[in-house]
Structure 1
Amino acid sequence: MMTPDDPFIKDAARAFAKLVADSDIHAGITQTAEGIEEVAGAIVSIMGGDAVFSPGIASRLRQTASDGYRERLQFLKSISDRIGGC
């Protein structure tokens, strides 16, 4: 049985956050650091559904989602910089 601490669940949180980052960029939305943390919290809440994660697990999942969002922004910025540098 999978638990919220399972690597698959963490990967899902990271991937979900990357999709949200893609959507935000496409919509022209720029998140502040606090906004990214709110997005990460919402992702964990959506993933949990009716389940209640312990504070430690919820915190780790929020951090993973936040990292995923930032990774996508960094990736898109690096591509943009390369295209702009041509």
Structure 2
Amino acid sequence: PYYIERLDRHRAKFRTALDELRTSLPSERVGSVDTAERANAAWYKDVVQVGQVLVRDGKSAEAEQMVGRKGIADGYFLPMLN
């Protein structure tokens, strides 16, 4: 629970920063902020929430694999780098 609470706090700050960035960018650049927001939402749903269920169900090793070097987690951030 400690790490999930921290993650949620950081995620809220990230989303606030995206909102602030969105208002400061020219309209043709806002799409990149939208892409980052969608990638973050998908990561949260598909990695954080799924990982929580796996841990709750006693499948911690499977949850850890999601964030390891070959895990799926990093792939959600690739759209933000373009």
TM range (shorter): 0.3 to 0.5
Q: Which has the higher contact order (CA 8 A, sep 6+)?
A: 1
Which structure: greater helix fraction? 2
Return the TM-score normalized by structure 2.
Answer: 0.38
